[in-house]
Amino acid sequence: MKILFLVHRSWPYHGGSERYVLEHAVAASEWGHDATICTTDAWDMSVFAGRRGKRISKRSDVYKGVGIIRFPVVNPPGARIARAVLRRLLPCGKDRFYYPNPFVPSLERWLTRDRGFHVVHANAMPFMLYNGWMHARRFGRMLVTVPHTNVGERYRRVDALRYFDGCQPGIFRKSNFVVVQNSHEREIYEGLGVPGERIHLSGSGVDPGEFQEADASAARRRHGLEGPVVLCMTAHSADRGVVYILDAFKSLIRRGMNATLVLAGPILPDARKVLDSRAGEDEELAGRLVVTGYVTNEERVDLLAASDVVLLPSRLDAFGIVVIEAWISGKPVVGCWSGAMPDLVRDGENGFLVSFGDAATLAHRIGLLLGNRELASEMGERGRKTVLANWTWNKVTDRFYRRLAQCSLGRLEP
């Protein structure tokens, strides 16, 4: 079969949903399929909402046999007004055009022609889910939707109306199957009327081989790190906990803790405002805070090896791939009661979970792990065994393609 993967960004950018799609595309050949990824030219998410930000200049690439085609994001004058109008006038506008869904007209035109694909695998952002659905419906192809829904904690949901106000519930109900990343997400789609037998619980994975050559000393030299390291590696924003991470860390400094906090990964605008204001006001953070910006996959692996505790107290991660990356590196984690983390982390056994925004509990758990190296080591080792048993990319992609093989190639319901 020929499989078309649609995702908002792809290689060489490294992120959770981007890596998820890339690994499934690469694994396609092992099952006798041909894979193509269609994506945008964006490197920075800011490209989706404005004219600033880094882009990828090459319009096409090949990575491990997978063709990658990039379509340029267009930012017309008055884009905000245009979004508001299109949300009201066009079919499915309520979810297709909410910020920061971009304008990618050349991709939409490309998808109006039959390209010979048998399966459309549409991911993450509503504009990609919509375009995948339209192509599959127009040409009678199988549709797999992978929404990566970030809705917060089970009993404290982030406002998710933008996901579900338009056509998306109907798209999911008509998909051959929907891939979800956690049990909470599964419940949401069952509540929207997707039959349970057409929901595939997946999750993400790691390649253990990538972590065998990790060089902790290289990361320490690169960033001038000394002593214990507390690492948070994500696309930093308010909803990913940047404010209460800083508050928790400051409280530990006041208690005499000698450690460095490393915020690795892109800094989104709301987090940038927080960090800029704190940098000038918080003497306690002086010399104790390292902000790296985007890190390559090699740097990512080295930073995990150099860390003592890894944090992801976020309410905006459908899975939280850094949790299993930390575990395969033998590191203890402190996560949040959101996304897949309650499915992965047995609180107090292979890591800790805290409620979003609870800086006091977060500080206590970090202090506990830094003060008890035996406990930290035991948690990291339990986590490593969990990953090897369930969360390598080979296991995750095998589960997907076995599920795909069970589906017929009949026409998508109109």
Lowest mean pLDDT, pick from 136-140, 150-154, 358-362, 372-376: 150-154
pLDDT of residue 407: 80
Check if the beta carbon of residue 114 is closer than 8 Å to that of residue 139.
Answer: yes
- 112 and 216 co-located in one domain: no
Q: What confidence category does residue 165 fall into, taking pLDDT thresholds of 50, 70 and 90?
A: confident
- 168 and 234 co-located in one domain: no
The answer to whether residue 413 sits within a structural domain is: no
Q: Which residue, 284, 331, 340, is CA-closest to 303?
A: 331
Tokens of 65: 């046999």
In percent, the amount of the chain with pLDDT more than 90 equals 82
Q: What confidence category does residue 67 fall into, taking pLDDT thresholds of 50, 70 and 90?
A: very high
Q: In terms of C-beta density within 10 A (0-12 exposed, 13-18 middle, 19 or more buried), how is residue 215 classed?
A: middle
Amino acid at 89: L
Amino acid at 146: V
- 246 and 126 co-located in one domain: no
Check if the beta carbon of residue 259 is closer than 8 Å to that of residue 288.
Answer: yes
Q: Which residue, 165, 207, 209, 254, is CA-closest to 26?
A: 207
- The answer, yes or no, to whether residue 159 has pLDDT greater than 90, is no
- 373 and 401 co-located in one domain: no
- The answer, yes or no, to whether residue 150 has pLDDT greater than 90, is no
- 250 and 191 co-located in one domain: no
- The answer, yes or no, to whether residue 186 has pLDDT greater than 80, is yes
Distance CA 237, CA 274 (A): 9
Tokens of 66: 């997978």
Check if the beta carbon of residue 363 is closer than 8 Å to that of residue 249.
Answer: yes
- 192 and 282 co-located in one domain: no
Q: What would the pLDDT profile of 91-115 be if each residue is shown by its tens digit? A: 899 999 988 899 999 999 999 999 9
In the block, residue with structure tokens 């940038």: 272
- 174 and 39 co-located in one domain: yes
The answer to whether residue 373 sits within a structural domain is: yes
The answer to whether residue 136 sits within a structural domain is: yes
Q: Which residue, 213, 152, 204, 214, is CA-closest to 14?
A: 204
Q: How many domains does the chain have?
A: 2
- 53 and 9 co-located in one domain: yes
pLDDT of residue 156: 81
pLDDT of residue 391: 96
The answer to whether residue 181 sits within a structural domain is: yes
Tokens of 74: 């267009």
Q: What would the pLDDT profile of 298-317 be if each residue is shown by its tens digit? A: 999 999 999 999 999 999 89
The answer to whether residue 411 sits within a structural domain is: no
The answer to whether residue 166 sits within a structural domain is: yes
The answer to whether residue 47 sits within a structural domain is: yes
- 132 and 60 co-located in one domain: yes
- 397 and 386 co-located in one domain: no
- 119 and 152 co-located in one domain: yes
pLDDT of residue 281: 63
Q: What is the DSSP letter of 46?
A: G
The answer to whether residue 175 sits within a structural domain is: yes
Distance CA 7, CA 20 (A): 10
Question: The domain spanning residue 299 has which CATH number?
Answer: 3.40.50.2000
Q: Which domain holds residue 11?
A: 2-205+393-405
Across residues 82-90, what is the average pLDDT? 92
Q: What would the pLDDT profile of 225-274 be if each residue is shown by its tens digit? A: 999 999 999 999 999 999 999 999 999 999 999 999 999 999 988 899 88
Strands 119-123, 66-71: pairing kind: unpaired
pLDDT of residue 200: 96
Q: What would the pLDDT profile of 38-55 be if each residue is shown by its tens digit? A: 999 999 988 998 878 899
pLDDT of residue 322: 96
pLDDT of residue 79: 86
Distance CA 79, CA 223 (A): 39
Across residues 352-357, what is the average pLDDT? 96
Check if the beta carbon of residue 334 is closer than 8 Å to that of residue 389.
Answer: no
- Letter string b/e over residues 219-242, b meaning 16 or more CB atoms within 10 A of that residue's CB: bbebbebeebbbbbbbbbbbbbbb
Check if the beta carbon of residue 169 is closer than 8 Å to that of residue 199.
Answer: no
- 49 and 185 co-located in one domain: yes
Across residues 275-288, what is the average pLDDT? 77
CB neighbours of residue 321 within 10 Å: 24
